[in-house]
Amino acid sequence: MSTYPQTIRHIVMWNVQGDTPAERQRNIERLCTSFDSLKGRIPGMRHLEIGVDVSRTSYACDVVLYSEFDSPEALAAYAEHPEHLRVRAELGAMRTARYQVDYPVTPA
């Protein structure tokens, strides 16, 4: 068993509200901007990347967040970090669905 903290990948996917394509696009852009603002502000966060779906398939999510944390403890601290809570409040109920997977990264 390793004595080093284990990196955790945190992947979240959302669908956003919008009665028109333009409204949905604005919400997607707002979500991306809000999460991009977290870069460099969260201790223990190694990487943060936002992706917007281009497939437009009926079963695809609109946006994905890919992030990595130094340890499970760093991910837990992120969940309660004031900057993350600010982003969650900014986004409010614009999301219609949310899916999440957290998993440890096995060293190569």
- The pLDDT tens digits for 13-72 are 999 999 999 999 999 999 999 999 999 999 999 999 999 999 989 999 999 999 999 999
Q: Is residue 42 part of a domain?
A: yes
Per-residue pLDDT at 2 exceeds 60: no
Q: For residue 107, what pLDDT is reported?
A: 74
Q: Is residue 97 part of a domain?
A: yes
CATH number reported for the structural domain that contains residue 20 in this entry: 3.30.70.100
Q: Dig out the tokens for 46 from the structure.
A: 């190694």
Per-residue pLDDT at 106 exceeds 90: no
Q: Is residue 1 part of a domain?
A: no
Q: Is residue 21 part of a domain?
A: yes
Q: Is residue 75 part of a domain?
A: yes
Q: Is residue 39 part of a domain?
A: yes
Q: Which range of residues forms the domain containing residue 80?
A: 8-104
3-state secondary structure (DSSP) of residue 43: coil
8 Å CB contact between 15 and 62? yes
The structure's pTM equals: 0.89
* Structural domains in the chain (count): 1
Q: What letter would DSSP give residue 5?
A: P
The 10s digit of each residue's pLDDT in 68-79 is 999 999 999 999
Rounded-to-integer distance, Cα 71 and Cα 76, Å: 9
